[in-house]
Amino acid sequence: MDNATSSEAVHEGLAHAPVRVMSARVKLGTRLVNLYSRRELWRNLVISDIRIKYKGSALGLLWSMLNPAFTLGIYYLVFSVVLKNGYPNYVIFLFSGLIVWNMFQNSVFSATGVIVDRAGLVKKVSFPREILPLANVGSAMIYFFIQLVVLVIFLFVFHHAPEWNMLAILPITFLSLCLFAAAVSMVMSAFTVYMRDMKHLMEVLLQLWFWLSPVVYSYSNSLATQLATYHLKFLYFMNPMALVVLTFQRAFYVNTEVHQTTGTHPLIHMLPVWAPSSFLLLNLAMLAVMATLFLIALVIFGRLEGNFESEL
């Protein structure tokens, strides 16, 4: 997003409201109220970000649906035709976890340098600075829902029904994901103002984080089973993305155990054999933790934003 377009979105959102300068001494409750009162500004920034991404494109936002569709088709060819890993409907297992990871990664990576990239806007216009990283999370949410539509279409194509009881849990899981992505995005965007190398470091950390999350491999082949040998499985679930990915995979892939058509171990535990009620309780607990992390991130951002103008 260029500064001119961002400024237009900001002025549009603030046109009918008095301007308040956010500072490091603003109390948490006041900060939350200010964010809510600027929700129109947040919406304008999200729309502006999406428009700029597809500016000059003939198909526009349609590319957000075509790209995941092509990606899903490539995964099907690679893992079902070329490599043949032997997992039934593996492409659904993979993509149901990948859309979740894509949202988190796109949110955090794009938001990490957003304050620095919008330095001119930050120094010229008074508005809650955390709206900038939160707008990146909002854009990633739009792309997530587009990719979710592609996944649903492929479920029809493969005649693969989701687990309906688990679908009712997904709104809780998705809210936890949004809060976690928002918390990490705000903190990283603030740190990057003072340490510009954080954006490059975050790119490496996200790659490592991806492989620590159960997106591409079955639960029986995950780090969780190895940690369970030492009674340390809880360390695996210290990564919030683990439960988020597993919940989406359980809802759409459904199968906890599958018979592999290749290899020496035909029975594979693709997912935990927990009951939907266990998933519900775990996700409710995670939601409470993520809400707390979001509030802590707001406090950290408030402490760090006081010197933004001088550092930029």
Q: Where are the domains of the chain?
A: 3-311
d(CA 218, CA 199): 31
Q: Give 197-211 pLDDT, tens digit per residue.
A: 888 899 899 999 998
d(CA 224, CA 9): 45
d(CA 151, CA 173): 17
- Mean pLDDT computed over 111-133: 86
Burial of residue 6, with CB atoms counted within 10 A of its CB: 0-12 exposed, 13-18 middle, 19 or more buried: buried
Q: Which of 135-139, 154-158, 182-186, 217-221 bottoms out in mean pLDDT, i.e. has the lowest?
A: 217-221
- Mean pLDDT computed over 72-79: 73
pLDDT higher than threshold 90 for residue 305: no
Average confidence score pLDDT of the chain: 82
- pLDDT score for 22: 42
Residues 6+ apart with CB under 8 A from 96: 151, 248, 249, 251, 252, 253
